[in-house]
Amino acid sequence: MVVVINKVILVGRLAQDPEVRYTESGKAVASFNLAVNRIVGKGQHPEADFIPIVAWEKLAEIIGNSLLKGQRVLIEGRLQIRSYEANDGQKRRVSEVVAKNMEFLERKKQEEDNHGFGGQVFPEEEIPY
């Protein structure tokens, strides 16, 4: 029996507003960088790693409509490393986290003003009642 586990859980702040695009087949894809603190040594200030995040379909639309630069979130997904050929003919490798779930850890300013709430997002439209 072979067991393969590829699970990533990150907590950080959005480094920029998410960018949402649509593929030729109409699938939504959102991308952004998540700034995640890393402790470098005892008594030193944390440094930030900027980790590329990609989300697809319903979760991509939720992210595009709900998240803003600086907002703190938890992202759960898997690490993906892919290769492609750039316009200049050079082969490139990209490491990114493909998001499966997202949880709000902080409300957007607009939601706070409207007395809204944050919480966990269920991309398959499962409502936890």
Beta bridge partners of 119: none
DSSP helix/strand/coil, 65 = helix
Q: What is the pLDDT of residues 11-68, one digit of tens each?
A: 999 999 999 999 999 999 999 999 999 887 888 888 999 999 999 999 999 999 999 9
Does the pTM exceed 0.95? no
Residue ranges of domains in the chain, CATH in brackets: 8-121 (2.40.50.140)
Torsion of CA 52, 58, 61, 66, to 10 degrees: -90
DSSP 2-29: ------EEEEEEESS--EEEE-TT--EE
Give the pLDDT band of residue 10 (cuts 50, 70, 90): very high
| Structure confidence by residue, pLDDT tens digits, 78-123 | 999 999 999 999 999 999 999 999 999 987 655 555 444 445 554 5
Amino acid at 61: E
Whether 84 and 95 have beta carbons less than 8 Å apart is answered as no
The strand pairing partners of 18, in sequence order, are none
